[in-house]
A and B are shown apart, each in its own frame.
Chain A
């Protein structure tokens, strides 16, 4: 363990670090859900969190943009730094934070509004557009980045809930990138999608790496192998191993990681 942290430290000097988590503990009432996790998330990289269900990977992800604040019984300790600033500092407004750290959820959750309004929602509340033309531009760019523009450009006023599952999820991604975040958190974004839609979203994630730091939680090791450059393996609330994706899948250091990727646990 000691060695691993040491290794991270050395790596962190090499790459541009976006998020730095130090000794993070999460409690749900009396349940200790995340135990002393340290992790560094690099910029312009896809980082995957894998592990068996209930291992804490989603919980940890939700700490990164303080979505756990909405749960009364949840308590977070330790430090999480975004660009060197503690996001749990009392002076930080979670609203501002979440504009920088966007999130895409497990199930597509478009608002019961038109496609246009879904994407425009974030820019509107954060005041990112000076006028209608600006807003149109943001919506178009976001939909293009989400590889959805060509499919929906003729029906921007149709309700977002009327699309297929894969389209809905890409709409949610477009919605998230419309606020111009610096980090994009994705919580099992493909678990409710069919294989074709999954492939589309995965392709998209790879594109997004150009502009953002992406953190993705996934229950599928293949997906992690396909889309990520770095992988973190969580088990029972502990961060067991964190390294380059290739390394994790070919030469895991920890026996638990090995058991998991070879299908013996989880």
Chain B
């Protein structure tokens, strides 16, 4: 008779220890993966959340006629000769006046005082004045942007120590900023403009926004949706329902699965060579971007559409054929509607992928600095033909700039991008749950 079951022998103990170790490796792997996700998200959120807030200075700005309108009759042609350089001192004086009013003493030079205000502020004020010439001669309250360094000080990015080493600001300036903030004149508040404003030059991170990028991404998604969905569904229907089982069909199938694994940058080269060099579409245009992303997204949509079509049981087709419908009618009247939720889910996931894609867009010129909101249609450049940028490319663009303020902007843009992706995926999951059918 062999050993008792109730005592664990030495070998079994050893084997159980190996078992526990193995299991621990698995758990460790999960923990590492989760940890990576947490670190990634914290890093992005930590760097980017502050971009949704911005520091503004509330200034009572006197708009002197002798400086801003030499004609004296509000002639716009004359007034627009005064550039932002002419407006900058006006803002500086307004800030100095405010300081005096608040009893804040300063030994800073005029230039250093000017540096506290964003270079963008002069343009903002100028645009307001040119839009409403009657303001000249009055004292008007403006909420102007503080400069990037001052803004960074309130967000913890700039410290007294770093300011001491910085040409663009100084500890004294930060002290004044703190005093102004205590007096309620300088305020850091929610910055809706971040989502609306276009990009700004590399001196002015505080004024940079993702308006153009969002618009460009939106245009591209429209192009992708309008092209990839019908083409993807059509080719899936053909392959799944009609294609004869022959060599040609095999080639198409292998080709699609390989296309899904081609590096995205190769699609960029394709876009550059075919759409821009050969077809002579406009560089940087959402049309070209959309076309490239369409070709990239097609395999995803085809694969998920085919899965959706496949999951509709043959009995449905038989039933339709049985009452005398043609094959085509059975597909379009019965199979396709039943597969629609699956197709839609796949399409949304494909769109989400396309929305975050960056590399191919770099090659078709979407890195260009664009400040004009692109129009959806113009007679000269056609549909979606105007130069634009896109959210992920804007992020890349900002990472290439020296001012650390742009890291915050880039992270902010990423948060926005991730929120869009989250919404799209949530919709996809909802659709799947809501309409999923088990046969």
- Chain A residues contacting B4 (CB-CB under 8 Å) are 85
**Chain B interface, number of residues (Cβ within 8 angstroms):** 12
- Chain B residues contacting A89 (CB-CB under 8 Å) are 5-6
> Is B433's CB within 8 Å of the partner chain A?
no
- Chain A residues contacting B15 (CB-CB under 8 Å) are 95, 125
Q: Mark A122-138, 1 if CB is under 8 A from B, else 0.
A: 00011100000000000
> Is A100's CB within 8 Å of the partner chain B?
yes
> Is A192's CB within 8 Å of the partner chain B?
no
Among A82, A93, A100, contact of B8 (Cβ-Cβ < 8 Å): A93
> Is A92's CB within 8 Å of the partner chain B?
yes
> Is A69's CB within 8 Å of the partner chain B?
no
- The distance in angstroms between the C-alpha atoms of A11 and B165, with both chains bound, is 98
Pairwise interchain contact B11-A91, C-beta atoms closer than 8 A = no
- The distance in angstroms between the C-alpha atoms of A89 and B12, with both chains bound, is 16
- The distance in angstroms between the C-alpha atoms of A191 and B7, with both chains bound, is 37
- The distance in angstroms between the C-alpha atoms of A91 and B11, with both chains bound, is 15
- The distance in angstroms between the C-alpha atoms of A100 and B12, with both chains bound, is 13
Pairwise interchain contact B8-A91, C-beta atoms closer than 8 A = yes
- The distance in angstroms between the C-alpha atoms of A82 and B8, with both chains bound, is 15
> Is B106's CB within 8 Å of the partner chain A?
no
Chain B at the A interface: SS class: loop
Pairwise interchain contact B8-A83, C-beta atoms closer than 8 A = no
- The distance in angstroms between the C-alpha atoms of A126 and B1, with both chains bound, is 17
Q: Which of B1-36 contact A (CB under 8 A)?
A: 1-2, 4-9, 11-12, 15-16
- Chain A residues contacting B6 (CB-CB under 8 Å) are 85, 89, 91-92
Among A83, A91, A95, A127, contact of B1 (Cβ-Cβ < 8 Å): A83
- Within the complex, the shortest CB–CB distance from A33 to chain B, in Å, comes to 24
- Chain A residues contacting B12 (CB-CB under 8 Å) are 93, 95-96
Pairwise interchain contact A85-B2, C-beta atoms closer than 8 A = no
Q: Which residue of A lies closest to B1 (CB)?
A: A83
- The distance in angstroms between the C-alpha atoms of A100 and B4, with both chains bound, is 11
> Is A87's CB within 8 Å of the partner chain B?
yes
Given contacts A93-B16, A95-B16, contact A85 B5 (CB under 8 A): yes
Pairwise interchain contact B11-A92, C-beta atoms closer than 8 A = no
> Is A117's CB within 8 Å of the partner chain B?
no
Q: Which residue of A lies closest to B3 (CB)?
A: A96
> Is A182's CB within 8 Å of the partner chain B?
yes
Pairwise interchain contact B5-A127, C-beta atoms closer than 8 A = no
Pairwise interchain contact A96-B8, C-beta atoms closer than 8 A = yes
Pairwise interchain contact B11-A126, C-beta atoms closer than 8 A = yes
Which B residues have a C-beta under 8 Å from some C-beta of A?
A: 1-2, 4-9, 11-12, 15-16
Given contacts A85-B4, A89-B5, list 11 more A-B pairs with CB under 8 A.
A82-B5, A83-B5, A85-B6, A91-B8, A93-B5, A93-B16, A95-B15, A96-B5, A96-B8, A97-B5, A127-B11
Q: List 9 A-B contacts (CB under 8 A).
A: A82-B5, A85-B4, A91-B8, A92-B6, A93-B5, A93-B16, A95-B12, A95-B16, A100-B2
Give 4 nearest A-B pairs by CB, closest first: A85-B5, A92-B5, A127-B11, A91-B6
